[in-house]
Each structure stands twice: as C-alpha cells, then as structure tokens.
Amino acid sequence: MYEFGAGKSAIRVLFEKSMALQQQGVTDIWDFSIGDPYVPAPDEVQEAIEDTMATMTSHEIHGYTANNGLPSVRRAIARNLNKRFGHESRRYDEDDLILTAGAAGALSATIATITNAGEDVIVLAPYFPEYRMYIQAWHCHCVAVDTQPVTFQPDVEAIERAICPTTRAVIIDTPNNPTGAVYTPEVLEELADMLRQKEKELDRTIYLISDEPYREIVYDGHENPWVPDFYEDTIVCYSYSKSLSLPGERAGYILVPPSVTNHDRLYDGLLGAQRAINTIMGSLVQRVIERCADIPAPIEEYRRKRHIIYHGLTDIGYDVVRPDGAFYLWIRALEQDEQAFSDRAFEHGLLLVPSDDFGSDSYVRLSYCCEDETLSSSLPAFQALWDDYGGYRW
Amino acid sequence: MYEFGAGKSAIRVLFEKSMALQQQGVTDIWDFSIGDPYVPAPDEVQEAIEDTMATMTSHEIHGYTANNGLPSVRRAIARNLNKRFGHESRRYDEDDLILTAGAAGALSATIATITNAGEDVIVLAPYFPEYRMYIQAWHCHCVAVDTQPVTFQPDVEAIERAICPTTRAVIIDTPNNPTGAVYTPEVLEELADMLRQKEKELDRTIYLISDEPYREIVYDGHENPWVPDFYEDTIVCYSYSKSLSLPGERAGYILVPPSVTNHDRLYDGLLGAQRAINTIMGSLVQRVIERCADIPAPIEEYRRKRHIIYHGLTDIGYDVVRPDGAFYLWIRALEQDEQAFSDRAFEHGLLLVPSDDFGSDSYVRLSYCCEDETLSSSLPAFQALWDDYGGYRW
C-alpha cells in the first residue's frame, strides 16, 4: 500500500508541478491531466436531491442500506438496462446488480472476489493506470498486452498468447481511456470465441471484466457493443461519474449477467467483498440514481469539446487518434521520449500525461472534459510547442 | 469472499426470519437486531445539504476529491479534534486525517495497510462481528481475547499472553459494542504500558486501533478516554454514523496522530489503500461534514431510550449490563444456550442477536437505537418470555 500511496501517478506529479507554478504567479496553465468532468450534473440531479430531502424521513434518506444497495434502486437500474439491452431471452433484475462506490469500487470488489493471490489479470495497453493498483492490491499480476497499432482495437492473438493456467480475467473498457477507441462487434466476437476456447482448454472460468465509465459517451453514430451479448462470463463495472457528472459521489454498480458461470455463488462472493472491504454507495446518492437512472449522458457537450481540440490540434499538424468515444485525445508526442515531450509541453503551460503510466510509449493523453474556453485558449500554446520542435522529430 | 457473503451474520438471519413472519401477517415484532439509528439527523445536516446545493457549482459539489478527502473538510475535523483533545504539545492537522467510507472503510483501509498476510490482529470478546471479515479479507488471523468478567474491561494480562511475533494490532472500541463498557483510564494506561513493552521486546510496531463510532455517546458524566493520549501507536477510526445519524452515508475518517511511528510512511500507505481499494467518502457528504463537524451527538435521546429499556428489563428481573455508553444492552440469556434463548425470544416477537457471533457465550444483544414506542411496547413480550422460562434457569 505504501508503494501505491508514495509512488505518485504521473497525473499527480503534473498536478503538483502546476500548483507550484501557480504559486509563483504563472497563470497561463492549461490542465488537461485529469478526467474530472467540468460539464455540470443535469438539473434532474439537483431536483432528485431536493425531492428526496423534501419527501423522505431522515432514516429513509440516511439510514443503512443493504451492502448491495436498496432494492428499489437496483430495480430502477435493471429496468433501464432492459430497455436498452434486454430482449426476450435476457432480462436483468435486482439480483444481478450490486451498487458500489463507483466503477473503481466495482473493480476493486470484483477483483477481490474472483482472484486468488498469484493469479493473472490481463489489461490492454494503453490502459487506465489505476488497474494496476486494483489488481496488485490482491497480490495478483497485472499483465499488459498491447492493442493493435493505429486502431487500438484488442489484439486477440496477443491476448491468447498471454493467457496461461493462472489467468483469471481480462479487463477491457470501450470506449477506451486513453485512446477513445470503441471496440467493434467483430473484435469482441473474436475475443469471446478465443476466451471460450481457453476456458475449455484450461478448464477454468476466465472472466471478461467490462469497465464502462464511458459507455454512453460515443460519437458519430458509433454503436458501443453490449459486451454481455458476446461473452457469457462478462462482469460489467459501471460508473455514473461521467454520464451524470458525479465523479466525487462514487456511484456505480456491478452487473452479474444471469449467463455467468455459477452466477449466485459469484454474487454472494461480491456481497462478501462489499461486507469485508466496504466499497458501498452512499444512501442519498442511491436515491438520486433511482430517480436519474434514465437521464441521458451529455454527449453533445463532449462532441463539441472534441471538435474544438481535435481540429485545433490536427490543423497545427499533430498526429492525434480521432476518438470515437470517451473524452480523451491520445496524441503522438513530437519526440519519441514521452516524458521529455510532456516536460517541454509543461514549459508552455500544457499539462499532458505521458504515456508510460498507461503502459505505452511515445504518446501523451489530453483530457478534454474541461471548459470549452480552456480548450480554445490553449491552441496558441500548442502552436508554440509545435514551432519549438519544428514538427515531428521522429 | 464467498464465505463472507454466503455465511450470513446472525443479524441477517434474524432479519430474514422477521420478514418471513411479517409476510405471514404477524405484526407484533420488535426488531432490536441492528444498530441503525432511528434518531433523525440534526437539522444542520439538511441545512448543510441545502446550503451546499445553493451556493456551490456542480463541479465543486460533485467533482472528484483527493482520495484522502477535501483539505477544507480535513481542516474542519482537525479544528474540532484540537478543541476537544488538543493541548499545546499535541495539535492535529489535515495531514493527520484521511476521510473514509465510514469507520468500516477506515478499518478496512487501515488493516490493508499495516498488515502482511499471515499476521495476527487481536480483538476483545465480545466484539463487533464484522471485525473478523475486515481482518480475514487481508489473509490475517482474527485472535479473540476475552474481556474481564462483569466489567467487560480489557484483560491486559490475557492480551499480553496472546501477543506473539506476528501480532500487528489490537482493536478496541470504547464505548463498546455490544457491552456498552467505557474503558477506564487505568486499564488503558496498563494496556499501553504492556504494548510498549511488547514493541521493544519484539522489535516491531504494534498498533492500537481505536474504533470509535460511539465516541460521544457516553452517559452519566463518564469520560471516554482519548486513546492517543495513552499510546503513541494509536490509529483512530471514526464514523459519523451515530453522532450525526448518517449510517447510510458512510462518512468517517482515519486519524494518524503525529506520535505514530513513521507517521508519514503510514499516511502514504493509507493513501495507497484508498487508491487501490476505494473506501472513499462521497463529495457532497464531505461538504456536510465540513459544516457539521462541531454538532454534538444526540446523547439525551439515547439516554432516554436506555432508561426505558434498561429499567424495564431489570424490573422484570433480567440480568443486564448497565451500559455507560453506545446504544446496546448486553443481556444474560435465561438459559445458557444463547441460540436457543434467541429462538425462544423470537417466538415472542423479540429479535435479539445471540452472543456467539460476538465471540461470546450465553448473552444476547439488544440494540436500543429504535423508536421509544418500540422499546416500551416490547416490555410485555419480555415479561411473557420471562414467565415462559420462570426466570433464570442457570
């Protein structure tokens, strides 16, 4: 735990450097480091809080809930999922859902439950750096497998080669943080076939953990595939951080689809994790989720922001992966050493996270969930950075 | 995790039995099983929520906070602690505090941080049953040591005998759940001396974890000692569940006093645990705590409830430990087998938790944080139960 706490993330290092600069009076700083949405929560959230406070007793609002959350909240979520992803042969209900402290809490409880110490969990690089902590906390190995060049789709053959008799799970997130890639049905089909084959071959369950904080944030008519439709042993870890702009409230859930091997036993295990490690959603926030489960995500907001920064940077000449979803730009660094590039960008007031923390080389991540003005006003600094290098040096 | 989730607590078994009875139309049920306060949250909580919603932006209210919580909230708590427990040579500040998802989250993160797999954590029986899960989740041994007969004060000699080269911590809670005992300064002094001696002898840090969800709920002018005053390597795990009647909001903190060995390293480790296992307090609730850190606990409410049930039961003839704090009665069962007694009480509609779940024999626990009416209306049923047995049978 000391290593996790003292070994600062690249994001935290950037944050502290920018604080120091601000104290020196420097004000031209554009902080693109963290995925903390500046888009306000929808009005319905405030209304839900007011309604809850006005109509319920203190005990109803603030009393203990079951560790898996209030049944009425789980039913509201199940109804929403059935509307969007249900069909006759596949309905979700409250007993498939466990409310958690965000997707982070969901992942934490899931990994605690399904793994034994020493097992492997595969992640696809570039990957969200916190996955490493969630995995290593339970004394498991975080095994990174590169995605495909250019498309950043899963490289199923490479994943297959990484699977061994101690592999317990593969974590995916579509749309992806940091690349914005939305996985295609074809690649998920291929991944599912391979995993099924490996389950048979190794005679053990291999879970596909679908981490979905950005599920609804998809652009240009892209369809984000519903992962449980492809693979039976999928566990979905969801967060309302982005769809309702509530990251600090730590509101999320685990969905255990009925198709999962030993569904009830896994569900009981997750209840045990909730009891033992306490990644539980707060009670007032549960009431908010119950009332807001059907509110759509602010996709238009993020589409507008993407437009500003994506076109701004490509017009200058930057090689940027066009994101089909989420709210990050994956930018090829102007020199191969991503740390040196991030340092140089910092001299221009631009806070960009170097890719090594994501298990990848020669890129930086820009988070565009900030205010529009921050995006547009940063473009001259990006131009100056470009001029400084004279374009790509590799 | 499966064992924790499927191995139901005695409290949950009682709860399910009572639900079944209610479905059969039985209405004379007095549920004394769970410590879920019916005392409403103080008005200041509602005002704090309204004030926060009215004066802050969505991003300020619902945005990410640092994993250890907002600095302004930690400062408000430190100020409150300094007012109550500070003196010139010992001030707490924000860098001694980590906000957590309740005391449960605080214990979970603390045990995750300070232990290695295979180590021992000592608890004092009768003890809060969830301690076992918090300890075993990290592959450590939960070693129960009996408290002293009659007084339920720690038996320091017995604890000393239980300490071995793999002991990492002792958990205490004063006032105690389930007995209501408030530990005396003398016994804490003796415990601290012994632990200091053992630290030297074994050349390792042995933490005293002071779990304090009931800290302020103390009656009759009793003083609840401030544990860090007695022992340098104390870690305080606090919850606002009872003092502000907010159990569902999971609001608590870890205090690492400056006296703790390698303070900064431990603090970083706890930050790591917050990052890896996500026992983090929600952001709106943090704003509430900032505004309500100085609100006194509803002691008078609980004193009145204690009066009703304690005198009601002792008048009938029950042998009840008079609680000096918290809101539980520890009742000697009318027969030696506490499960059989609990079952018989259930036939009279009385839900009492048998003591074996607390690591102890021949008692039941009654939680009196319910409504006054529930307490007073239960007395005829307690009389009928008494008559059924004809008084104590052992």
pLDDT tier, B150 (very low <50, low <70, confident <90, very high otherwise): very high
Interface of A with B in 102-121 (CB under 8 A): 102, 104-105, 108, 112-113, 117
Using a CB-CB cut-off of 8 Å, the residues of chain B touching A101 are: 101, 278-280, 282
Alpha helices per DSSP H over chain A: 2-6, 10-23, 43-55, 58-62, 71-85, 102-114, 130-136, 156-162, 185-202, 263-277, 283-292, 299-316, 338-347, 372-377, 379-389
Q: Which residues pair with B252 in a beta bridge?
A: B100, B239
Provide the shortest C-alpha distance from residue A205 to chain B (in Å). Answer: 16
What pLDDT, on a 0 to 100 scale, did the predictor assign at position A194?
98
pLDDT over 90 (residue A199): yes
Q: Which of A53, A62, A248 sits opposite B64 (nearest CB)?
A: A248
Interface test with A, best of B1, B108, B266 (most A CBs within 10 A): B1
3 state SS of B42: coil
Interface touch A250/B137, C-beta < 8 Å = no
| Phi, psi at A251, each rounded to 5° | -115, 120
Q: Which of B117, B133, B267 sits opposite A275 (nearest CB)?
A: B133
B393 CB within 8 Å of a chain A CB = no
What pLDDT, on a 0 to 100 scale, did the predictor assign at position A10?
77
| Phi, psi at A317, each rounded to 5° | 130, -5
What pLDDT, on a 0 to 100 scale, did the predictor assign at position A17?
78
- Mean per-residue pLDDT for B123-138? 96
Name the closest residue on chain A to residue B262, using Cα atoms: A2
Provide the shortest C-alpha distance from residue A112 to chain B (in Å). Answer: 8
Q: b vs e for B57-67, b when ≥16 Cβ sit within 10 Å of the residue's Cβ?
A: ebbebbbbbeb
What pLDDT, on a 0 to 100 scale, did the predictor assign at position B90?
85
Q: Are A324 and A180 in contact (CB under 8 A)?
A: yes
Interface of B with A in 254-273 (CB under 8 A): 265, 267-273
What pLDDT, on a 0 to 100 scale, did the predictor assign at position A28?
85
Interface of A with B in 280-299 (CB under 8 A): 280, 282-286
Interface touch A248/B278, C-beta < 8 Å = no
Q: Which of A246, A267, A278 sits opposite B105 (nearest CB)?
A: A278
pLDDT over 80 (residue A18): no
| Phi, psi at A99, each rounded to 5° | -75, 140
- Mean per-residue pLDDT for B380-392? 97
pLDDT over 90 (residue B55): yes
- Mean per-residue pLDDT for A132-152? 96
Interface touch A249/B282, C-beta < 8 Å = yes
pLDDT tier, B18 (very low <50, low <70, confident <90, very high otherwise): confident
Full-model pTM: 0.95
Neighbours of B166 (CB within 10 A): 16
Taking CA A266 as the corner, what is the angle to CA A261 and CA A271, rounded to the nearest 5 degrees? 165
- Between B6-20, B158-172, B223-237, B279-293, the lowest mean confidence (pLDDT) is in B6-20
Q: Quote the CA–CA distance of A25 and A7 in Å, as a whole number.
A: 28
Provide the shortest C-alpha distance from residue A394 to chain B (in Å). Answer: 36
Q: Which of A117, A248, A276 sits opposite B282 (nearest CB)?
A: A248
Q: Quote the CA–CA distance of A296 and A292 in Å, as a whole number.
A: 9
Name the closest residue on chain B to residue A282, using Cα atoms: B249
Interface touch B4/A273, C-beta < 8 Å = yes
Q: Are A219 and A306 in contact (CB under 8 A)?
A: yes
What pLDDT, on a 0 to 100 scale, did the predictor assign at position A9?
74
Strand ranges (E), chain B: 30-31, 97-101, 120-125, 141-146, 167-172, 207-212, 234-239, 251-255, 320-321, 328-332, 350-351, 353-354, 363-367
Interface of A with B in 352-371 (CB under 8 A): none
Q: Which of A3, A38, A102 sits opposite B278 (nearest CB)?
A: A102
Using a CB-CB cut-off of 8 Å, the residues of chain B touching A115 are: none
A54 CB within 8 Å of a chain B CB = no
Strand ranges (E), B147-263: 167-172, 207-212, 234-239, 251-255
Task: Name the residue type at position B5.
Answer: G
A270, two tokens: 């997750």
- Between B4-18, B142-156, B190-204, B331-345, the lowest mean confidence (pLDDT) is in B4-18
Interface test with A, best of B62, B131, B205 (most A CBs within 10 A): B62
A27, two tokens: 């004000």
Q: Which of B62, B112, B246 sits opposite A247 (nearest CB)?
A: B62
Q: How many CB pairs under 8 A join A and B?
A: 210
H or E stretch at B219: none
Interface touch A249/B101, C-beta < 8 Å = no
What pLDDT, on a 0 to 100 scale, did the predictor assign at position A212?
98
Alpha helices per DSSP H over B165-243: 185-202
Interface touch A276/B136, C-beta < 8 Å = yes
Using a CB-CB cut-off of 8 Å, the residues of chain A touching B285 are: 282, 284
Interface test with B, best of A1, A4, A239 (most B CBs within 10 A): A1
Name the closest residue on chain A to residue B132, using Cα atoms: A276
With a CB cutoff of 8 Å and minimum separation 6, the contacts of A381 are: A28, A30, A348, A349, A350
Using a CB-CB cut-off of 8 Å, the residues of chain B touching A53 are: 46, 49-50
Task: Name the residue type at position B28.
Answer: D
Using a CB-CB cut-off of 8 Å, the residues of chain B touching A117 are: 117, 139
Please write the tens of the pLDDT for every residue from A46-101. Answer: 999 999 999 999 999 999 999 999 999 999 999 999 999 998 888 999 999 999 99
Q: Quote the CA–CA distance of B238 and B104 in Å, as a whole number.
A: 9
Q: Quote the CA–CA distance of B19 and B29 in Å, as a whole number.
A: 10
B41 CB within 8 Å of a chain A CB = yes
pLDDT tier, B24 (very low <50, low <70, confident <90, very high otherwise): confident
pLDDT tier, B36 (very low <50, low <70, confident <90, very high otherwise): confident
Please write the tens of the pLDDT for every residue from B278-335. Answer: 999 999 999 999 999 999 999 999 999 999 999 999 999 999 999 999 999 999 999 9
- Over chain B, what is the mean pLDDT? 95
* Burial class of residue B260 in the structure, from the number of CB atoms within 10 Å of its CB (0-12 exposed, 13-18 middle, 19+ buried): buried
Interface touch B278/A104, C-beta < 8 Å = yes
What pLDDT, on a 0 to 100 scale, did the predictor assign at position A258?
96
Q: Quote the CA–CA distance of A296 and B377 in Å, as a whole number.
A: 49
Between these two residues, B158 and A34, which has the higher pLDDT value? B158
3 state SS of B217: coil
Using a CB-CB cut-off of 8 Å, the residues of chain B touching A267 are: 5
